[in-house]
Amino acid sequence: MTETVPAGRLSSVSSGNALELRGVTKMFGALAAISDITLTVRSGERRAVLGSNGAGKTTLFNCVTGDFLPTGGTIRLFGEDVTRFPAYERIRRGLRRTYQISLLFNGLTVADNVYLACRGVSRGRFSFLRPRESDALIARADELIAAVHLQDWRDISVANLSYGQQRQLEIALALAGAPRLILFDEPAAGLSPTERSELIAILQGLPGHIGYIIIEHDMDVALRVAESVTMMHNGTIFKEGTPEEIENDQEVQELYLGDGHA
Q: Give whichever of 236 and 242 is closer to ligand ATP, judged by the CB atom.
A: 236
Residue 163 in contact with ligand ATP, rule: CB under 6 A: no
Cβ-contact 19, 37 below 8 angstroms: no
Query: Which of 21, 39, 55, 77 lies at the binding interface for ligand ATP (CB under 6 A)?
Result: 55
Reduce the secondary structure of 5-52 to three states and give it as a string: CCCCCHHHCCCCEEEEEEEEEEEECCEEEEEEEEEEEECCCEEEEECC
Cβ-contact 50, 71 below 8 angstroms: no
**Judged by CB under 6 A, how many residues of this single chain contact ligand ATP?**
11
Picking from 260, 238, 234, the residue whose alpha carbon sits closest to that of residue 249 is 238
Q: Give whichever of 173 and 183 is closer to ligand ATP, judged by the CB atom.
A: 183
Question: Which stretch in 57-65, 69-77, 130-138, 205-213 sits in contact with ligand ATP by CB under 6 A?
Answer: 57-65
Rounded Cα distance, 245 and 228, in Å: 9
* Host H or E run for residue 136: helix 131-147
Indicate the length of the chain as a whole number.
262
Binding mask 21-40 for ligand ATP (x = CB under 6 A): -------x--x-x-------
Rounded Cα distance, 41 and 17, in Å: 6
Question: Which stretch in 56-64, 128-136, 187-195, 204-212 sits in contact with ligand ATP by CB under 6 A?
Answer: 56-64
Compute and round to an integer the Cα radius of gyration of the chain: 18
Residue 53 in contact with ligand ATP, rule: CB under 6 A: yes
Query: Which of 21, 37, 45, 56 lies at the binding interface for ligand ATP (CB under 6 A)?
Result: 56
Q: Give whichever of 8 and 72 is closer to ligand ATP, judged by the CB atom.
A: 72
Cβ-contact 121, 176 below 8 angstroms: yes
Helix-then-strand count for the chain, H and E: 9, 10
Binding mask 192-221 for ligand ATP (x = CB under 6 A): ------------------------------
Q: Give whichever of 54 and 241 is closer to ligand ATP, judged by the CB atom.
A: 54
Residue 233 in contact with ligand ATP, rule: CB under 6 A: no
Q: Give whichever of 61 and 115 is closer to ligand ATP, judged by the CB atom.
A: 61
Q: N- to C-terminal Cα distance for the chain?
A: 32
Binding site for ligand ATP (CB under 6 A): 28, 31, 33, 51, 53-59
